[in-house]
Amino acid sequence: MSIFINRQTKLVVQGITGRDGSFHARQMLEYGTAVVAGVTPGRGGQTFEGKVPVFDTMADAVAATGANASVIYVPSRFAADAVYEAADAGIPLIVCITEGLPVLDMTRVMPYVRERGARLIGPNCPGLISPGDSKVGIIPGQICLPGRIGVVSRSGTLTYEVIHQLTCHGMGQSTCVGIGGDPIIGTNFIDCLAGFQADAATDAIVMIGEIGGTDEQNAARYIAEHVRKPVVGFIAGQTAPPGRRMGHAGAIISGSSGTAAEKMEALKAAGVAVMQRPADVVPLLTERVGRA
């Protein structure tokens, strides 16, 4: 078991013939993900790697293959339209890896996706992986291990760091979700926390936040009320100066709000074990769920 993706996931890769799309489509195939189709306008009828049919449109791809998830690698200027196209084709899970989407585009994308009943993960995210079952996105498969810890994060390589620590100590993961570092994202901490709480195959949750916005504070309130499984949390950016955008578009302390300190306080108040550094993840989890 896992959240959002599993062995039944049938994936379309939007932008499969591009540089990033083709590289990661190959990685996902190697990992064992059921990549059933690719879409690149003008390349319909071709075959990718000798086995994945390529279509001109998402509608064609879904009609021919019954795909139920898509992952987007197209350049940023086409990415919003790729999300609209996936939603119109009836895809229930859309994962947008592409970074650089204008935030005003996202204010239009979000209601569109919601009205069609789809879930968007990202944009500007590494995607997700249910180790051993399915990988959608760019999280390196070799650092993961099947197991019972759920991981949710706003970051990319910092997530890999934490997953790596878990794997090195034999603590496998049920699902790892990178929700993305932009100010407006399709899936937030609460969506993932709710999923992990309901997932019978997840025993404990690791959440990795960062400065900017109030998503972690909202997550803390949600944890206090609804999450019964142990949660271990980390907030990046304790040393970040206010008013500066720390790489991620959403990682900025505005005035005095969105600091690491206030987020760490909120998590502690909700009963979350807060890490001081990434290496604390294993000891804190061990205290709560015992040895792996």
Partner 1 sequence: MNLHEFQARALLKRAGIPVPDADVAETPAAAERIAKKIGGPVVVKAQVHAGGRGKAGGVKLAKNAAEARERAQQIIGMTIKGLRVNQVLIAPAADIASESYVGIIVDRASQRAVLMVSPAGGVDIEEVAATTPERIFRLAIDPRYGLLPHQAMAMAFRLYRGVEQARQAATIMRQLYDAFWSAGASLVEINPLITTPGGQVVALDAKLVVDDNELERRPEIAALRDTTAEAPDEVRARDAGLTYIKLDGNVGCCVNGAGLAMATMDLVKYYGGEPANFLDIGGSSNPQKVVTALQIITADSNVKSILFNIFGGITRCDDVANGIVTATKQLELGRPLVIRLTGTNEQLAVKILKDAGFSALTDMDDAVRRAVELAREAA
Question: Distance between the two ends of the chain, CA-based, in angstroms?
Answer: 18
Among 6, 276, 283, 286, binds partner 1 (CB under 8 A): 276
Query: Binding segment for partner 1 among 34-42, 52-60, 221-229, 254-262 (CB under 8 A)?
Result: 254-262
Chain positions 121 to 150 lying near partner 1, rule: CB under 8 A, are 126, 138-140, 143
Place of tokens 């993840």: 281
CA separation for the pair 75, 68 (Å, rounded): 22
Q: Exposure pattern of 251-266 as b/e (b: 16+ CB <10 Å)?
A: bbbeeeebbbebbbeb
| 34 contributes a contact to partner 1 by CB under 8 A | no
Residue 248 bears catalytic tag: yes
| 18 contributes a contact to partner 1 by CB under 8 A | no
| 190 contributes a contact to partner 1 by CB under 8 A | no
Q: Which of 24, 164, 169, 248 is catalytic?
A: 248
Query: Binding segment for partner 1 among 81-89, 158-166, 193-201, 224-232 (CB under 8 A)?
Result: 158-166
Cis peptide before 123 (omega within 30 of 0): yes
Please say whether the beta carbons of 291 and 166 come within 8 A: no
Report how many residues bind partner 1 under the rule CB under 8 A: 59
| 40 contributes a contact to partner 1 by CB under 8 A | no
Torsion of CA 193, 74, 139, 11, to 10 degrees: 70
CA separation for the pair 82, 14 (Å, rounded): 7
| 117 contributes a contact to partner 1 by CB under 8 A | no
Please say whether the beta carbons of 144 and 63 come within 8 A: no
Q: Is 173 helix (H, G, I), strand (E, B) or coil?
A: strand
In whole angstroms, the minimum distance from the beta carbon of 165 to partner 1 comes to: 9
CA separation for the pair 125, 180 (Å, rounded): 4
Q: Write the binding mask 66 to 105 for partner 1: x where contact by CB under 8 A, - elsewhere.
A: ----------xx----------------------xxxxx-
In whole angstroms, the minimum distance from the beta carbon of 125 to partner 1 comes to: 11
Please say whether the beta carbons of 129 and 136 come within 8 A: yes
| 244 contributes a contact to partner 1 by CB under 8 A | yes
| 261 contributes a contact to partner 1 by CB under 8 A | no
Note the residues at the interface with partner 1 (CB under 8 A). 76-77, 100-104, 106-108, 110-111, 126, 138-140, 143, 153-161, 164, 181, 183-184, 208, 210-211, 213-215, 218, 234, 236-241, 243-244, 246-251, 255-256, 260, 276-279
- Catalytic machinery residues: 248
